[in-house]
Amino acid sequence: MRNIFLFISRYFNFILFLLLQGFSIYLIVHYSRYHQAVFSKTANQVTGKINEQYSKVEYYFQLKKTNDSLVRANAQLYNKLKADFELPDTTSHFIIDSIKVDSMERYRKYHYFPAKVVYNSVAAQNNFIVLGRGSAQHIKEGMGIIDANSGVVGIVTEASSDFAVVMSLLHKDSHLSGKLLKGGETGTLSWDGKTPNIISLNGIPKNAKVAKGDTIISSGYSTSIPKGMMMGIVQDVTSDKSTNNFLIKFKTAANFYNLEYVYAIDNNQAESIKTILEKVKQKIQ
């Protein structure tokens, strides 16, 4: 308290000047329409600038919340896609579709679960991704992983209760099936361990029509990745002299440098397909 009185006594004249100056400005603005208009315009501009900067700061701190909500909304939209359901064959008779959306759940083929990437590598020979979601949150081995733009990322190889490991396309043992969107020819993906985001599509015959800029999608020949998911864009096509196939290089649709959120795909028919294949293998043996 003593310091306050000392401060006031030391700067009394200056404080009195500021008070009188402020009172004078008040009288001028209050009793003069011109000055009142100028002050109002200036105050609005200053207030607007302050509010604009505050809005930017507030928006920045709300980005995580907004991003999380968009991820959840995107997962809901994925789960409502027509391609995620496999309806029974009705070609032999007609059915009037009067059922509710919820009753279609028994026909669902794919289910999508959002997950946050907590670890990602691109520079190693064999690259893995770790998700902050595990078996306790419905993630299991064999699930396909795509990014927010439906670009194929990889396959889940291990899952603990709270985390899951994904073998990305940037892994020498990753050999998913891909196909040319235009011609429909199917090949196998492989990575040479050199350039991230650049992968080879092998097994495409030389009689196929393929050129730079063509689209490569998932073939659907896997229980992990649905048909039609983006895999990449052709960057280079050369003829392999030792075989009757092309050497095709393509840039991945998923950007492995900045993966933040992905979607795990659960194929409800995967176990049934696996069971019937095991029965066939046992009969052959």
Output the pLDDT for position 199. 94
pTM > 0.75: no
Q: What H or E segment, with its residue span, contains residue 170?
A: strand 164-171
Q: Give all domains of the chain, ordered by start, each with its CATH number.
A: 2-61 (no CATH), 109-269 (2.40.10.340)
pLDDT of residue 283: 82
Question: Could you list the mean pLDDT of each consecutive 10-residue stretch along the chain, which spans 285 residues?
Answer: 75 81 75 64 62 59 64 67 51 44 64 90 90 91 91 94 93 92 93 90 92 93 89 93 91 91 88 83 79
User: Which run of H or E residues covers position 237?
Assistant: strand 230-239
Distance CA 84, CA 110 (A): 5
Q: Which of 257, 239, 256 is nearest to 248 (CA)?
A: 239
C-alpha atoms less than 13 angstroms from C-alpha of 164 in its C-beta half-sphere: 30
What number of other Cβ atoms are within 10 A of residue 173's Cβ?
9
Name the one residue in this structure whose structure tokens are 């200036």: 42
The confidence score (pLDDT) of residue 128 equals 93
